[in-house]
Every structure is written in structure tokens, then in C-alpha cells.
């Protein structure tokens, strides 16, 4: 592959993954009813509103889920994967039907990565700056809390030591091993095509 194609792949991966991350964060913020007065929440809302507001007029939410942001993320995932295949030399042979199936798997993988890295950030922050009021840490905790809280409630009291993040780490790894990996292999997803894998 030529150096120009490698630069193109780097730019597509970077821009596509950032766009996906922002849209999925918007979905998660609304799902967990995070503080939308948080400056980071407001930045995410400002970045996603130009695309989401027109979509929301056509696609309503359902059961507290922001379906419009999920469909926007799905569309971004498909377009990004198609551009990657195009730059990688597939040309007119892009398997569009496969992309429709690969995209949800990539989104699920990226959601797992968001939770994985969010946990790492909170664990490190709990050592370095416990009880911090940093807006980013508050937002990460609001996203993680609905997943961590039920596990924490079932854990025995260990004198103030919270091992629930370790259980969530293990669950994420198990999902990657028994769900994402086998599905990616079964669907013949090209390696490195999706950001979550």
C-alpha cells in the first residue's frame, strides 16, 4: 500500500472513530440521564446537534433510547468502513450488504471499549485524585454507574475496597471473547476494519 493510502487510512480511522465516539457518548449521556450542564456534555451536544436534530424530527425515541443517535452512529460506522475499504483498494467491490451486518458489531465493540477505558480512567483517578470534581471524571462516573452499581450491590463488604470495577473488566473481556471475536470471525469481518475490535 502506498504512503498516500496509509495517510488516507489514518485520517479516515481518526476522524471516523472520533465522530463515532462523540455520537455514542451522546447516546450514553441521554441513556443514563447525565448532567447536561456539564461543560463536556454541552460540547458533545453542540457537536452532535446539527446532525441529530433533523434526524429526531423523523426518528422518535423509544423507551428512553435515543434511536436517532444510534442510527447516526450506525450510518457513520458504515460510511467509515466503506471509505476504509475504498482506500485499501476494494474500489467498486465494496460488500455493502456485509457492511450493514458488520456495523452493529463494530458499534458494540466500541461501546465495550468506552466502558473499558472509562473504568481505567476512574480507577487511576481514584488513586491520584480521589473525590475530584473534574467535569470529565464526573461524566465518566455518571456513564459507568448504572453498570457498576448492580455489581457493587452484590459484592461483599471488603472494608471500603470496591472490587466491582474488576468484575466489570472481566465481563467486558468475556463479552469480547465469546461474542465479538466469534461473531467477527463468523461474519468474516476484515481485521482492523472496526474501531471496537
pLDDT at 126: 83
pLDDT at 87: 86
User: For 140-171, what is each residue's pLDDT tens digit?
Assistant: 999 999 999 999 888 887 777 788 889 999 99
User: For 81-134, what is each residue's pLDDT tens digit?
Assistant: 999 888 887 767 788 888 999 999 999 999 999 999 999 999 898 888 777 788
Rounded distance between C-alpha atoms, residue 97 and residue 112, angstroms: 24
pLDDT at 196: 43
Question: Region 48-64: what's the mean pLDDT?
Answer: 89
Question: Region 25-48: what's the mean pLDDT?
Answer: 93
Question: Region 64-71: what's the mean pLDDT?
Answer: 89
Contact 64, 46 (CB under 8 A): no
Count how many residues are written for the chain.
197
Q: Is 188 exposed, middle or buried (0-12, 13-18, 19+ CB in 10 A)?
A: exposed
Question: Region 133-137: what's the mean pLDDT?
Answer: 89
pLDDT at 147: 93
pLDDT at 158: 74
Percent helix, strand and coil across the chain, each to the nearest 5: 75, 0, 25
Q: Give Cα separations from 180 to 21, 25, 107, 138 (angstroms).
A: 18, 20, 11, 29
Helix (H) or strand (E) holding 9: helix 3-31
C-alpha cell at 55: 434526524
Amino acid at each position: 500500500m502506498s504512503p498516500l493510502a496509509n495517510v488516507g487510512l489514518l485520517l479516515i480511522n481518526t476522524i471516523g472513530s472520533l465522530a463515532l465516539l462523540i455520537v455514542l457518548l451522546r447516546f450514553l449521556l441521554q441513556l443514563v440521564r447525565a448532567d447536561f450542564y456539564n461543560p463536556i456534555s454541552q460540547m458533545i451536544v453542540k457537536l452532535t446537534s446539527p446532525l441529530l436534530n433533523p434526524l429526531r424530527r423523523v426518528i422518535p425515541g423509544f423507551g428512553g433510547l435515543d434511536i436517532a443517535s444510534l442510527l447516526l452512529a450506525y450510518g457513520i460506522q458504515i460510511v467509515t468502513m466503506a471509505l476504509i475499504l475504498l482506500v485499501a483498494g476494494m474500489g467498486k467491490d465494496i460488500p455493502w450488504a456485509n457492511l450493514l451486518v458488520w456495523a452493529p458489531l463494530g458499534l458494540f465493540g466500541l461501546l465495550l471499549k468506552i466502558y473499558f477505558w472509562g473504568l481505567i480512567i476512574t480507577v487511576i483517578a481514584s488513586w491520584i485524585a480521589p473525590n475530584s470534581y473534574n467535569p470529565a471524571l464526573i461524566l465518566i462516573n455518571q456513564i459507568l454507574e448504572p453498570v457498576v452499581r448492580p455489581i457493587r450491590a452484590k459484592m461483599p463488604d471488603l472494608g471500603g475496597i470496591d472490587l466491582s470495577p474488576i468484575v466489570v473488566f472481566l465481563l467486558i473481556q468475556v463479552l469480547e471473547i465469546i461474542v465479538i471475536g466469534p461473531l467477527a470471525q463468523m461474519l468474516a469481518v476484515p481485521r482492523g476494519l472496526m474501531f471496537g475490535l
